[in-house]
Amino acid sequence: MEMIPKVLQVLARPNFTVYIYFHDGTVRLLDAAQLVQKGGVFAPLQDADFFRDRLTVINDTVAWDIDGNRDPCTCVDLDPCTLYDTCPIVEDPLKEVI
């Protein structure tokens, strides 16, 4: 059985980028700028403050809590397998803080 990656933590950064912390210890960088520009369900995320403030982990993946009630049925979440396979591994930006 193949492992389904689980997201443990997310950290929003400028320009609609997100550091994603996976359960295997890797940190990957998502550039969500093009995704946000598509509009549709992503339209609320075009506001940088909303993008940052509603970013969370729901369903073991990167998600935005659109309604603010942590309902997994009304969030906008991204496929963890796709994120794991397509986002490049980067150094942990919090490494120096710890």
Examine the pLDDT at 20 and tell me if it is beyond 80.
yes
In sequence order, the β-bridge partners of residue 11 are 19
Cα separation, 35 vs 42, in Å, equals 7
Ordered domains of the chain (ranges, CATH): 7-86 (3.30.2020.10)
Q: What angle do CA 13, 63, 39 make, to 5 degrees?
A: 80
| pLDDT tens-digit readout, 69-82 | 999 998 999 999 99
- pTM reported for the whole predicted model: 0.93
| pLDDT tens-digit readout, 29-58 | 999 999 999 999 999 999 999 999 999 999
